[in-house]
């Protein structure tokens, strides 16, 4: 899971402090990937350095100054590219694809289209693996079968998630208003 792009996507939903970003991350992604506060602030510094976010204000807090960031046009373009690029099928697909799906819904982007594009990429890979099995030795056939079974599971997950997009969209809106 790409924490840099996921965090950038979270900022695409609206300006935020690092503390609030960490809590949004924990709410949606902590079961997939833990993120320490130090990593949040280091990521924010890199995103700012790269011109993908900008600090818009700061306020004194009980500890260090609370800086608030917003995404730049370059950052929005980066998130749009990320959302439009299907992930290669592998063991971590659900973590990345789940993050992309949540961010797409937060940004009122086409989450269903994202899942369709990913489904097409998976089907393409399935065809490649099936061709590889034809005439392959036992090792090749078994490895291809292993990959195919994982891809089938990913496809089932995508279908289930696509059927629940409305429910997920509602949960995200409820959280944004709480």
Structural tokens at position 147: 């990959």
Residue 121: predicted pLDDT: 94
Predicted confidence at residue 91, as pLDDT, reads: 56
Q: Provide the token pair at 44.
A: 């924010």
pLDDT of residue 135: 87
| Averaged pLDDT for residues 40-51 | 94
Question: How confident is the model at residue 156, as a pLDDT?
Answer: 94
Compute the mean pLDDT over every residue in the chain, rounded to the nearest whole number: 88
- pTM of the full structure: 0.69
pLDDT at 84: 92
In CATH, 1-85 is 1.10.10.10: yes
Could you tell me the sign of the dihedral formed by the alpha carbons of 159, 133, 96, 119, in that order? negative
Question: What pLDDT does 93 receive?
Answer: 57
Q: Assign 3-class secondary structure to the chain.
A: CCHHHHHHHHHHCCCEEHHHHHHHHHHHHCCCCCCCHHHHHHHHHHHHHCCCEEEEEEECCCCCCEEEEEECHHHHHHHHHHHHCCCCCCCCHHHHHHHHHHHHHHCCCCHHHHHHHHHHHHHHHHHHHHHHHCCCCHHHHHHHHHHHHHHHHHHHHHHHHHHCHHHHHHHHHHHHCC
């Amino acid at each position: 899971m790409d924490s840099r792009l996921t965090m950038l996507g979270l900022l695409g939903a609206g300006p935020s402090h690092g503390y609030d970003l960490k809590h949004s991350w924990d709410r949606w992604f902590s079961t997939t990937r833990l993120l320490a506060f130090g990593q949040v602030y280091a990521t924010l510094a890199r995103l700012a350095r790269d011109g993908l976010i900008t600090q818009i204000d700061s306020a004194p807090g009980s500890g260090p100054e609370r800086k608030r960031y917003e995404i730049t046009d370059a950052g929005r373009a980066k998130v749009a590219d990320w959302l439009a690029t299907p992930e290669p099928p592998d063991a971590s697909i659900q973590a990345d694809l789940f993050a992309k799906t949540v961010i797409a819904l937060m940004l009122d982007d086409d989450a269903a289209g994202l899942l369709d594009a990913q489904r097409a990429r998976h089907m393409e890979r399935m065809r490649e693996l099936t061709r590889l099995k034809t005439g392959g030795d036992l090792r090749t056939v078994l490895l291809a079968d292993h990959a195919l079974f994982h891809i089938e599971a990913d496809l089932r997950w995508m279908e289930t998630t696509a059927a629940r997009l409305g429910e997920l969209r509602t949960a995200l809106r409820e959280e944004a208003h709480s």
